[in-house]
Structure 1
């Protein structure tokens, strides 16, 4: 399924449609504009008044959870039962909804599939959001960066749903690296891509405007191992580090011995696996269970 705005961009950049299987007709209007504006407004208020920062963060979670809920795959939902009686365990294993089990000392954790599923989530909403995000990232690469810069002056290091890490050949790329013949054009269209910067008030307002790109971190070194698994840093400033390691615990100094520039570089240069510590605890039948396991292994080798 391809959302119309993304399809139009593909067609305008040379894609050809060879076969259409079906389409869904819909009226073009911003159904969730008030909801989006309420979240953006709350975050702007949080920027102005630090006493309301918690409300701003809560509204951010409200927006993310609304999207996440629409994208939930309910077909993967299961039910978990704990049994210690052998007859009941045997009965559940023989049932047609049985999915799996784990032994827990003198009891079993049994996972059962649901007998009935009600797929009522509006998945078309999450499809549209993901494809609009993809469209914006494609526009920023092909219609902005690749258009205004020579390819010898930049290289993409990492891209996520709504962010891009780019290595430039100069310190102030959008002032120094823009092609000379396109500098006037860039000045005319600069605010199609970036927040207005001609005064502080409008700059703060645009910082929370969806679709505009903000400089959130700058450095001169990056190691990317895989999607959502990278580190950015300044070699001469140990305190200025940005780490992303999805699924890896980082609070309270956990895994600091691995989640550092040397740890990431060793994975690439030495082709080794760095083991990290992952701890969790669950309580069942009066027993506390803890576990620790995970490894970071080399997958790709970009170092900038």
Structure 2
């Protein structure tokens, strides 16, 4: 049964060295796939029908997987540590941020899959590094978070790694969040029907060498990271200035703040410099006039382009 499935991650002491314990997350899909490739040889040979069986060899190229979930107000620190470049803590508040340089932390991701005839098999993916992340919030839904991982290799031998879950935790949702924009130095709340923010960390994941070892080396940053987002709003007097900001190429501040249900918990995402890249309002025959505002997240020069403050009391 799917109820017997589980997904968890744990920090590694070194890239590709399996963690000894993991934090459990309530993932909503199983996309962890190995992607081996084949090395084969072809050449002229009398009577050859197709590639010979002894001219073909499989190579472990690692793979990819995603961890998509409703973000809870307790227990997400390990996952956010995997997704961002830096982490610092003050009491119960943990700040995760982008940075100009990074050595991406590696994790072990365990996907426990149930067998139809009973029992489970723990697939242990080592050398897992987050390459992309995304937050998304729509009206009537919990706050979604998705992290895309690259992994070095996977095995399915031995017992499962221990999994730890938070005792009590509640999803952040649309009723507990407020979106703020800073325009001309003044921060004001904005009524949105949807917001999202995502990042591509610019990592090179195919670092392979002629070294008597088929496994890839730890990913490293090879290109400029990119961050972007989107707002959806009703078009009215209050949101018209956002369209004008788009046309003017203005740089605004963006902040989203949530109060958690678990006592003292909170979440705040900050982007000090964003610039709308579109688009005009759109009228409709069967709906209110709406406006979608995609935006680029820029480097403000004095602080992180994106930071997340996650407070989990008593952690």
Q: Could you say which structure has the larger radius of gyration?
A: 1
TM-score normalised according to structure 2 size? 0.22
| TM-score (ref. length: structure 1) | 0.22
Of Structure 1 and Structure 2, which has the larger fraction of its residues in helix? 1
Structure number with the higher strand fraction is 2
